[in-house]
Amino acid sequence: MEYFKEALYQWYHCHKRDLPWRSTRDPYLIWVSEIILQQTRVDQGLPYYERFIRQFPDVHVLSQASDDHLMKQWEGLGYYSRARHLHATAKIISERYQGKFPSDYATVRSLKGIGDYTAAAIVSIAFGAPCAVVDGNVYRVLSRFLGIKDPIDTPGGKKRFQQVAEELLDRNNPGMHNQALMEFGALCCTPRNPGCQTCPLVSGCYAFQHKLKETLPVKSKRIQRKIRYFYFLVAEDKEQVIIEKRTGSDIWKHLYQFPLLEQDYPADEQLLLSMPFLNRSTVNHEDTLPEISREYIHQLTHQEIRARFIRVKHRRLADNFPDGIRINKAEIHTFAFPVLIRNYIQKNFPGEHR
DNA sequence: AACTCGGGGCA
DNA sequence: TGCCCAGAGTT
């Protein structure tokens, strides 16, 4: 495997991208970048990273941030529990560790939002600790090059890949080794249309020789989507509109939305207009009739959201939203919304965006 | 072990 | 459309 490693490092030296978290060893910055990059492409995460560290340049500033401001910075990035865990962990580091980021794997691994991958990434990159990372890139590169057919989404398979990665690790420079493996998977050994023509490792690649580059790595399960129907009540008058905060164990926790009626099936329009929740917005003869928006379809990994917005323009918003939050429309852009709702807002609420 | 958490990019 | 992305937490 020395051939593999030498060729990989050579490739990395020539082809690595110039990314901001590569020019620092500040564990805080490494940590933030790793959390943002969980299940997120570099191209998508990069602008969020830049803005995030500008807003929160160190762990103390982050620990002092308000929840809403933090979520606003994360708006649109998805997997919002990452932001919550980041916040909680920043407080722990700021208080219990006096702002000094722990440097051993076990302690780092015990922090909220940091699993096996992220702990290994932080301690290897920031502190040079001999820990091997296993992420989607590593699964792909190792399964293809070595012809490992164990599924990557079962405990047994994960254990196998972890062992192989640890055996392969260059203990002289674990951070560089880990990043080289991942960068190679991201740029050359890609999920589809891998660059085998220009690959420096092709001569030893099991998948290439056996024409298995389309079938490796192996996954045992496949995802299935369920469809949910969301009907949002946009109750407003000239100055104000009603929103509420999402709680409970569901998507978009701690983001805001308009008062919601959810169904497992599409609602008939007449039925919709007679919905009890619409009565919360007392419609009287001085108000305009409800307007029902087009259907917004929002694809997520495990579900498809089909949403409509029922907009009621009141002459004067009554005090009948006990669990809602009454805000000035001019402030609506300071709250974090799911992308689906943000899209609606941008088209239907004039004013300064961000 | 199986589910669930988002959003965007790609063929 | 289905799959994937510098995965982690919950049940």
**Cβ neighbours of residue A43 closer than 8 Å, sequence gap 6 or more:** none
How far is Cα A128 from Cα A120, in angstroms, rounded to an integer? 10
Positions of strand B less than 7 angstroms from a protein CB = 1-11
Nucleotide lying nearest to A298, CA to C1' measure: B7
Residue with CA nearest to C9's C1' atom: A113
List C-alpha distances in Å: A37 to A33, A137, A192. 6, 12, 20
Residues 104-163 of A with CB under 7 A from strand B: 154-156
Q: Is A34 a catalytic residue?
A: yes
| Strand C within 7 A of A193 CB | no
| Strand B within 7 A of A44 CB | yes
| Strand B within 7 A of A222 CB | no
The residue annotated as part of the active site, out of A2, A34, A286, A295, is A34
Cis amide linkage into residue A130, ω under 30° from 0 = no
What is the pLDDT tens value at each position of chain A, 354 positions in all?
A: 899 999 999 999 999 999 999 999 999 999 999 999 999 999 999 999 999 999 999 999 999 999 999 999 999 999 999 999 999 999 999 999 999 999 999 999 999 999 999 999 999 999 999 999 999 999 999 999 999 999 999 999 999 999 999 999 999 999 999 999 999 999 999 999 999 999 999 999 999 999 999 999 999 988 889 999 999 999 999 999 999 999 989 999 999 999 999 999 998 877 777 766 666 555 565 667 789 999 999 999 999 999 999 998 888 887 777 778 999 999 999 999 999 999 999 999 987 544
- For chain A, domains (ranges, CATH) are 2-209 (1.10.340.30), 226-348 (3.90.79.10)
How far is Cα A202 from Cα A190, in angstroms, rounded to an integer? 13
